[in-house]
Structure 1
Amino acid sequence: MDSNTTDILINSNNNQETPSPYVKMRPETVQFTERLEHYAREYFLNLAKFKQSYVFYHKNPEYEEYQKNFVDSKSQLQSINKSIFLLANAIQVKIERLNAYITDINKKLMDDKVYYSKLNVIYKNIGNTEHGSATLIDDYKKTYNEVYLNSFNMFIGIIIVCGTTFSVFKNSTLKEGVKEGALKISNLIKSKIPGSQKYKYKYKY
């Protein structure tokens, strides 16, 4: 996997996060609970008044006070029911938003799982490359040491051969010079000393 792919993977994970609804969820939950408790108390109080006014009103429909109490208690119950209905709708909206957020989080978790799986593959490839490079370097070092040792041995061998050749050549030249000098002395003696021709000089070498 090339570096461009790696950069794309890294940059793709830097997207702006969706604001969490949990930030406001706790105070809203407290508010919802308080409102529900308030509506529950008001509902049962007004329900008791409604029952009482209902009985009085139907027994004595001619009394305007009973009629007024009945209408007021009925209106209060309807108002409380409406408030409870609106609160239930608000809670349902919050639940749906929370479910959508959780679904989005689950999707991101799956995307992150795939993302980190790809990063793990890249990491393993880098580790294998590093191991292969170290092995290759060791092989080069071993080859270099072998070549260096062979070159050194060859150099020493050349020195020994040259020294031996020079020594042999030097000894051979020295022997030839001694032989030539002895012959010259012998010829000089023969020419200068009478009767020396009958002696034979031999040079052994």
Structure 2
Amino acid sequence: MAHFIEVSHPVVEGMKTYPGLPEPRAEIVFDYDASHERYRGKAEFRIASLHLCGNTGTYVDSPIHRYRGGADLAALPLERLADLETVVIDCSGAERAIDAEALAGVELRYRAVLVRTDFSRHWGTPEYFVDNPFLTADACDMLVRQGALFVGIDSLNIDDTEDLSRPAHTKLLGAGIPVCEHMTNLAAVPASGGRLHAVPIAWVGGASFPVRAYVVV
């Protein structure tokens, strides 16, 4: 029997994902009382709208997030988002900068590469917004060169937030590799052999959007 491992954060009204970005806000469009009257007591419904930034919670970036004219969310192939064989890179005891050495000897081709730092333990606290672990440019060069299909990390940003050139986003999205940030619970995912699903909505023109990411083992 399949086992499902949640690796994304729930979206909660007012949550803070990244400094300076708007927080999600919910609005009731049609409540139970109003619908009760509309349906003459035969049924009740709740309809709500959710106003959020695409970079909220655990989300996937498409190439247009970094590149003008890049592929948007609707253009991302499902083959890069769903039913991907996983490999977990355990960097939970490493320094902030995760370089190519951490990937040495690991089969990356055709894999969803999930970088475990355990930084998600700070989620919801001020500590989450400082000194995040990140992938170096040489690590991303290796991921591109060896044919990774998807790269995720349980950190504030896949880049060093002090490096304004954003080499990880630049290299990975430039190669058409979707990036997933703010993952969680990667300690529960086996080192290899799981199947990742992390599909955002098919938003035409959309750069980033939350996903309910999970691994099947």
TM-score bracket, normalised by the shorter chain, equals under 0.3
Q: Report the structure number with the largest CA radius of gyration.
A: 1
TM-score between the two structures when normalised by the length of structure 2: 0.16
Question: Quick check: which one's helix share is greater?
Answer: 1
TM-score between the two structures when normalised by the length of structure 1: 0.16
**Higher RCO structure (Cα 8 Å, ≥6 apart):** 2
